[in-house]
Chain A
């Protein structure tokens, strides 16, 4: 498979979305304040992580853009999870654990820290790929 011309902007979109979440999650860990957009943003990533699951056996319609389901984004999500040696179920559990209001605040912050680690890795990989595209010589 090959990257397409939109690859660069897709990497950057993923990096920026990850950064927004890192900022919101850091705020939550440090002050217990929850950004009102955090739940929707985490849900979006949860959907994207689920798309990377090998168990999916249908092409899914993705009308609600952006859900980070593009080819390059799926690969980066996969790589980020592998770099943390976590499987996708652990990541999904961390993302949903942040929002679990039935859980105590300490557990939620633990989940938030794991999620931050994931998004940091994601942002880092996405930026690295973006900058490789910028520096690539066009043939």
Chain B
């Protein structure tokens, strides 16, 4: 086969792949509705695909077959790889229609996110992921990828501004409690948009220079790059955790404890090394207990700590236990000989991370006052199986519509402290039955979700109208 025919074949193959991705964007199943941002994202990918196909239609005939052939031919590989990258988000986004999402919760969180300085128009497209993990596709990364693809094809469409993407586990569409982790993913978006990583870079490099001052002559450039990346990665995770607590309150900590099964660190037996694994930093994340310790410190600062009755749930005891850990208990075995220095440098950066979070959420009401005012009543409604959308306040007989933070935190604490009281009030239901507990937890989550949805309606929020 002549070189010209080979490249024509390869170009057509890539054209077909791009067309197949565009078809998924364009041919969504009838009757499915999407969050507006998901629609925008899918349309953008389709448009970018159209421009890529137009470029490919003329590419094969424009490529020289002489000595520079390979230089030109490799562009097809780069384009194909770029489309592989985009491809992974398309089907999960089309799967995430509004009936398969905790839409009221997401819309409520977006509304709250928009109260932050600099984010009045932010939109989040949602996609489903297979892992039981929550994932924010770093929006600045997608934007950079889109811009870079745009730089090698003619007439690219502009990427819609203020667009973030969040992945949630496909199975958790009706869950309220685990979806309290979504604000952490919104934190990744804020981190990228506010260029927090760049702002922290001087602090990180100074701390590393101090921690490794005796080894600076012997460290290889790639080791230095690795350490720098590591600290940036840890810093971003702590930023996002603290951001989430500012946005939604302690229910974020409870969900973190639940998803990582951190109550496993509690127990009566000493000497089993229960804590050791939870105190280890990984290649991407700080140790679980270190993260929860930072949660505890922020909950104290924000005033939530005094609202927690530590005797009432073992989740709270994890918070207490983490709070009691000194920095010296945390380890980073996978860092090998560089692990100790990396931790020392990171601990020095943590106060700066807190400062960046505080700047990002400046002016945001923590929601604590409303929680204090309505929590007891919300729990009372839930105990009686009533959706706590409209509450008659006994002190002044006014009608109140609890906001997102009050509903979420009251609901989660009710789940942790008082599920038994709900079940005991129902005929033929047994609080010691795992099945009954599961069943009533599911109902509890439905009531909480309905209350969140009602709040938006009752207060005239326009969160869904992005």
A5 to B202, CA, bound (A): 23
What residues on A are CB-neighbors of B197 within 8 Å? 65
For chain B, the count of residues having a C-beta within 8 Å of the partner chain is 50
Q: Is the CB of A51 within 8 A of B221?
A: yes
Q: Is the CB of A15 within 8 A of B222?
A: no
A120 contact from B74, B85, B208, Cβ within 8 A: B74
Q: Is the CB of A1 within 8 A of B222?
A: yes
A 101-139 to B, binary, CB cutoff 8 A, 1 in contact else 0:
000000000000000100010011001001100100000
**Is A57 an interface position by the 8 A CB rule?**
yes
Q: How many A-B residue pairs have CB under 8 A?
A: 126
What residues on B are CB-neighbors of A19 within 8 Å? 74-75, 78, 152
Closest chain B CB from A26 CB (angstroms): 7
- Most chain A Cβ neighbours within 10 Å, of B144, B151, B212: B151
What residues on A are CB-neighbors of B283 within 8 Å? 2, 4
Mostly, the B contact residues are: helix
What residues on A are CB-neighbors of B144 within 8 Å? 13, 66
Q: Is the CB of A134 within 8 A of B84?
A: yes
A63 contact from B75, B199, B222, B284, Cβ within 8 A: B199
Closest chain A CB from B206 CB (angstroms): 8
A4 to B202, CA, bound (A): 22
Residues of B within 8 A of A (CB): 68, 70-72, 74-75, 77-78, 81-82, 84-85, 138, 141, 144-145, 148-149, 151-152, 195, 197-199, 201-202, 204-206, 208-209, 212, 216-217, 219-230, 233, 283-284, 334
Further contacts, 9 of them, CB under 8 A, given A1-B223, A12-B145: A4-B230, A4-B284, A5-B284, A6-B233, A16-B149, A59-B228, A69-B225, A123-B78, A134-B84
Residues of A within 8 A of B (CB): 1-2, 4-6, 8-9, 12-13, 15-17, 19-20, 22-23, 26, 51-54, 56-66, 69-71, 73-75, 78, 116, 120, 123-124, 127, 130-131, 134
